[in-house]
Every structure is written in C-alpha cells, then in structure tokens.
Amino acid sequence: MIHLDMRGLPPCEPFERILAAVDALPPAETLEVLIHREPFPLYAWLAEHGFAHHTQAEESGVFRIHIHPAPPAA
C-alpha cells in the first residue's frame, strides 16, 4: 500500500498530487490518502478513469481514502 498524507495542504494541491500518484499506481496496488476534507470532485474523476475508492471518515475529522483500479466489468 502506498500512503499519501494531504492533510493541511491548500486547495488544488491535494487533488493534483493524488492524480499524479494514481497515474503512477501499479495495477495491483492501493493508494491510501489522508486528507482533512472530503474530496467530492476526486470521486467523479476516479470513476471516470477506471478507479474505485472506499472512504472512511474518522472521529478526528480526517478522511482515509483507499484508491485502487476498479475490477473489470463482468
């Protein structure tokens, strides 16, 4: 699992860094992102580009997002 901590970064920077990390993500790997706000625009981008995600909101206000290639359609 590859970890990316985006907490506290100004707008646009987390999105750009996450996209760069996703572009370099090996096929069987998962990217774990920690971020201080829920990145709704990212979810649409991931779906459009063949990635799935799971988001967990923590009590601390941090969002933990696991991103991986979406399984092929049956």
Region 52-74: what's the mean pLDDT? 92
**Residue 54 domain flag:** yes
Task: Give burial (CB, 10 Å; 0-12/13-18/19+) of 57.
Answer: exposed
pLDDT for 73 beyond 90: no
Q: Is residue 3 part of a domain?
A: yes
Number of domains, the chain? 1
So what's the pLDDT on residue 27?
85
- Domain-embedded: residue 53: yes
Residue 19 has pLDDT above 90, yes or no: yes
Question: What domain range includes position 5?
Answer: 1-10+28-63
> Does residue 39 lie in a domain region?
yes
Residue 68 has pLDDT above 70, yes or no: yes
Q: What is the pLDDT of residue 72?
A: 78
Q: Is 16 within a domain?
A: no
Intra-chain end-to-end CA distance of the chain, in Å: 26
Average pLDDT, the chain: 94
Q: Does position 74 have pLDDT exceeding 70, yes or no?
A: no
